[in-house]
């Protein structure tokens, strides 16, 4: 545990270390986990007479009270352009779909293509179906296209997982087909699921487990909580939503997924060491009892042998501690501060 903490990894449930040795499928949530938390606005399209700034102003007005990455990207761009937008208490948010806001008899609806279809709002056939759409008083007026940046460490992390024996690496996302498929192909994923609702993520994990697989789920949002609870091992990142860090058995304290392959490596070493120590002490115990019973070396010599071997076993058991460098020790001094920080952000679950 001390060695693992030196790699900025917080183990909240020690059983996860044992379970990691049986994991054969790793599932990543897309937004905020595989990609940087906040996407960037790449284009704004108007379907009628409204300008790009008008479309952005309406979207920012609807999203102002929300804190998810898409809302932050929209608000950031609106502020960058110096646009003015108001707040309202009359909002109806449908989780995983979109938001409806009413201001001075103006009904603003912002959401995915699926959200617009559910609201019986027609979308132009030539529009990017993966965009975020803005409708005013029941009519689609424009859309905002977003671009996600893949975390720099992800390709190497996935390659390392495959070398460590992970059979499948999968993406689940509430996003549309096109961006999810493009990311899966770019990272050479084995499978992907798109337009997935929070409860459906947990169902996907459960289905894989029913097929005999052991699943590790890596996520960072409130939408991932049910899947993390269902998974055999759950991992999150410091700075993620409080519910995600509450649910996770393992938290990467510096928010870097490069530690994922290291975690699997350390868990495997722990398992191998435990098995080796078990075989050693079993063999030695049987031999020592035989020596004591049949007295080939005498009871006193047998006792001395026991003490010497026991001391040697303790020395081997503490070897991981000696592998920590001075730099690692400095990290350990930082760890309590990180823990204190996460405790102020995370509210315990009953």
Does the pLDDT value for residue 278 go beyond 80?
no
| Domain 1-36+151-350 sits in CATH 3.40.50.1000 | yes
Instruction: Decide which of 3.30.465.10, 3.40.109.10, 3.40.1110.10, 3.40.50.12780 is the CATH code for 40-147.
Output: 3.40.1110.10
Residue 46: per-residue pLDDT: 93
Instruction: Please write the tens of the pLDDT for every residue from 298-345.
Output: 666 666 766 776 677 666 666 654 444 444 444 444 444 444 444 433
Does the pLDDT value for residue 203 go beyond 80?
yes
pLDDT tier at 106, thresholds 50, 70, 90: confident
Residue 335: per-residue pLDDT: 46
Q: Rounded mean pLDDT of the chain?
A: 81
Residue 230: per-residue pLDDT: 95
Residue 302: per-residue pLDDT: 64
Does the pLDDT value for residue 121 go beyond 80?
yes
Does the pLDDT value for residue 112 go beyond 80?
yes
The residue ranking higher by pLDDT, 213 or 98, is 213
Instruction: Please write the tens of the pLDDT for every residue from 164-193.
Output: 999 999 999 987 788 889 889 999 999 999
Domain positions in the chain are: 1-36+151-350, 40-147
Residue owning tokens 């007295």:
295
Does the pLDDT value for residue 273 go beyond 60?
yes
In Å, how far are 89, 113, 204 from 55, measured between CA atoms?
A: 21, 16, 36
Residue 319: per-residue pLDDT: 61
Does the pLDDT value for residue 288 go beyond 70?
no
Residue 242: per-residue pLDDT: 77
Rounded mean pLDDT, 73-88: 88
Concatenated DSSP letters for 249-298?
SEEETTS-TTHHHHHHHHHHHHHHHHHHHHHHHHHHHHHHHHHHHH-SS-
- pTM for the complete prediction? 0.64
| Contact indicator for 143, 134 with CB cutoff of 8 Å | yes
Rounded mean pLDDT, 237-262: 84
Residue 337: per-residue pLDDT: 42
- Using a 10 angstrom Cβ sphere, with 0-12 exposed, 13-18 middle and 19 or more buried, the burial of residue 306 is middle
- Token output for 212: 């005999």
Rounded mean pLDDT, 62-90: 85
**Lowest mean pLDDT, pick from 88-92, 217-221, 268-272:** 88-92
The residue ranking higher by pLDDT, 229 or 315, is 229
E-assigned strand segments in 137-176 = 139-147, 168-172
Does the pLDDT value for residue 27 go beyond 80?
yes
Does the pLDDT value for residue 200 go beyond 70?
yes
Residues of the chain with pLDDT > 70, as a percent, come to 76
| Catalytic residue annotation | 29
Residue 246: per-residue pLDDT: 83
User: How are the residues of the chain apportioned to helix, strand and coil, as percentages rounded to the nearest 5?
Assistant: 50, 20, 30
Residues of the chain with pLDDT > 90, as a percent, come to 36
Does the pLDDT value for residue 281 go beyond 90?
no
């Amino acid at each position: 545990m001390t060695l693992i903490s030196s790699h900025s990894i917080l183990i909240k449930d020690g059983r996860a270390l044992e379970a990691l040795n049986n994991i054969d499928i790793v599932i990543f949530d897309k937004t905020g986990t595989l990609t940087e938390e906040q996407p960037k606005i790449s284009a704004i399209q108007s379907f009628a007479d409204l300008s790009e700034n008008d479309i952005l102003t309406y979207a920012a007005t609807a999203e102002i009270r929300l804190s998810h990455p898409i809302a932050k990207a929209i608000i950031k761009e609106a502020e960058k352009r110096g646009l003015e937008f108001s707040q309202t208490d009359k909002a109806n948010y449908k989780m995983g779909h979109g938001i409806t806001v009413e201001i001075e008899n103006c009904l603003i609806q912002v959401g995915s293509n699926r959200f617009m279809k559910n609201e019986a709002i027609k979308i132009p056939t030539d529009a990017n179906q993966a965009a975020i759409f803005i409708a005013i008083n029941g009519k689609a007026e424009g859309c905002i296209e977003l671009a996600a940046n893949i975390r720099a460490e992800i390709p190497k992390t996935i390659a390392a997982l495959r070398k460590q024996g992970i059979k499948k690496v999968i993406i689940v996302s509430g996003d549309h087909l096109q961006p999810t498929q493009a990311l899966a192909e770019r990272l050479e994923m084995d499978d992907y699921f798109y337009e997935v609702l929070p409860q459906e993520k947990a169902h996907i994990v459960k289905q894989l487990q029913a097929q005999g697989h052991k699943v590790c789920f890596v996520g960072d949002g409130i939408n991932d909580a049910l899947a993390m609870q269902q998974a055999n091992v759950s991992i999150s990142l410091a700075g993620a939503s409080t519910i995600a860090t509450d649910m996770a058995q393992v938290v990467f304290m510096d928010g870097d997924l490069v530690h994922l392959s290291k975690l699997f490596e350390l868990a495997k070493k722990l398992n191998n060491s435990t098995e080796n120590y078990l075989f050693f002490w079993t063999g030695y115990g049987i031999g020592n009892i035989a020596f004591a019973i049949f007295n080939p070396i005498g009871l006193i010599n047998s006792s001395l042998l026991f003490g010497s071997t026991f001391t040697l076993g303790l020395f081997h058991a503490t070897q991981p501690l000696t592998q920590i460098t001075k730099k690692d020790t400095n990290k350990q001094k930082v760890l309590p501060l990180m823990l204190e920080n996460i405790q102020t952000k995370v509210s315990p679950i009953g």
